[in-house]
Structure 1
């Protein structure tokens, strides 16, 4: 039976899956296999072929993939400024982000001052902080993270201000960037759009500038990057991995990438997306 755009079966009134989750699953499958047929994607996602076709057309308009006869494939040429819409990004590699978020939050201590970057993986840390009701001084340029932490009485929340970046909940520019130059936080938690070799990159100059200011403003810097982030570079450089304290990723990381980082004496924490203790290795 046909489903509407929300994945709802009109005949039964049953909601299957939100569009953002379906589209994240489609991108995850294409990232793994490179290409897939519509029927294959329908079976993976649990939706009708007509729903998958609509999802593919949506992702084509975003520039995320190309249509083929009977299916789709990832863009043959990476677009350095491409980023998925916020709802899809929140669903992409969700289990990996939640595992990383829980592992990092478990090491934060009451009384610390922590900078929370605007990233979906750092948002997972913020949710764990809220659940644990940690008493922190939290500085964030993310309106989504601010909303989560604002409900925690134990958290002293600082939102330094700026301009809301179009299509996101991220504050960039002044006065927030200037404010970061005046503080000395214990920890900064950063996301990144891509890690290529030892270079951390972003899709936007203004976002990269905020991240560099956060690195300067903290004594210890953790980069939270699920294994899908080890890819070709995005538009602009944030910094070299040697400028951060630690990279936290999941156990889906390509062994070749891990070996390359280890050769440069960097600290990498590998978090299992299953439950056993994380591996911390001086990479």
Structure 2
């Protein structure tokens, strides 16, 4: 993107309007990147983003902000998601690894970059594990590891994704009983976890039913939103691992003691 004609002397309201227009065309931006593009300091861009976040126009992340979208049907591409809330996702994965121990059976979700990052870290471990996944990226990351017994349910690959969906995988999962399901989600609120595609919701419900414990991995930008298709009630989630961006006020809206919240430190 070319340099934008902004500077520190521009009126704050005018500068923030340019920021709003930029976020209408782009999903996410890092503070340093935005400061460079707009020709202003990082501290100024952070103040502007804080103002826009207070007005509900963007959601702040540790390194910048993401655009507020209607999550009912919209979902970012895998490439965009990989560049969004990167530090938050990495912190969530580090926390998730604390719940992994030798000889466990792990079910790893599809449709979320956070699950791809988890697979990359699991591939570095030497402990024996059994992993079931319907995500081709996760399966690829864990292939050729002698300590990992890998199962990939059948299904049809969803266009533009790594997800295997459909009846063959759901039937396979009916006879699976695993220790932990590491779950991702398009959106999360105090009532349910939801997805943009009905086939994704159906597969995730089968995964939840196959696990003794369900751990949801979701960065704070996904909270207090509702996608089109309800997946499972929030009470079916054992534990939620998220980042520091989820406010205490939002957490207090969720039932207790399930799910338990674990806040990953940045």
TM-score (norm 2): 0.75
Partner of 2:238: 245
Contact 1:133 1:154 in 2 (8 A): yes
Which residue is 2:100 aligned to? 108
1:205 to 178, 198, 212: 198
Displacement after TM superposition at 1:268 (Å): 0.9
Show the counterpart of 2:88: 96
Q: Deviations over 1:211-259 (max 9, x none)?
A: 0000000111111111111032101001111012111111111221111
Question: 2: distance between equivalents of 1:185 and 1:208?
Answer: 19
**1:5-154 correspondence to structure 2 within 5 Å:** 26-29=26-29, 43-44=33-34, 46=36, 74=67, 78=70, 80-118=72-110, 119-154=112-147
- Report the CA distance between 1:122 and its aligned residue: 1.7
Contact 2:242–2:264 (CA under 8 A) maintained in structure 1: yes
CA displacement 1:188-216 (0-9 Å, x = unmatched): 11001111223110000000111000000
Conserved? CA contact 2:238–2:258, under 8 Å: no
Contact 1:102/1:124 (<8 A) preserved: no
Paired with 1:113 and 1:42, the residues of 2 have a C-alpha distance of 41
TM-score (norm 1): 0.71
Corresponding residue for residue 222 of structure 1: 215
CA distance in 2, matches of 1:113, 1:165: 25
Give the aligned partner of residue 255 of structure 1. Answer: 248
147, 150, 167: which one aligns with 1:174 = 167
Q: Bigger relative contact order, structure 1 or 2, given CA contacts below 8 A and separation 6+?
A: 2
Q: Judging changes above 3 Å, is the alpha-carbon distance between structure 1 residues 259 and 160 closer, same or farther for their aligned structure 2 residues? A: same
Separation of aligned partners in 1, 2:255 and 2:71: 29
Alpha-carbon deviation of 1:264? Answer: 6.1
Q: CA deviation at 1:144?
A: 0.6
Shift of 1:86: 1.3
- Flag structure 2 segments of 5+ consecutive residues without an equivalent: 4-22, 40-56, 58-65
Distance apart, 1:131 and its partner CA: 1.4
Distance change (3 Å), C-alpha of 1:166 and 1:264: same
- In 2: Cα distance, 1:264 partner to 1:113 partner: 25
- Residue 192 of structure 1 corresponds to 185
Q: How many residues align?
A: 221
Q: Summarize the Cα distance change of 1:46–1:144 in structure 2 as closer, same or farther, 3 Å threshold.
A: farther
CA distance in 2, matches of 1:184, 1:142: 18
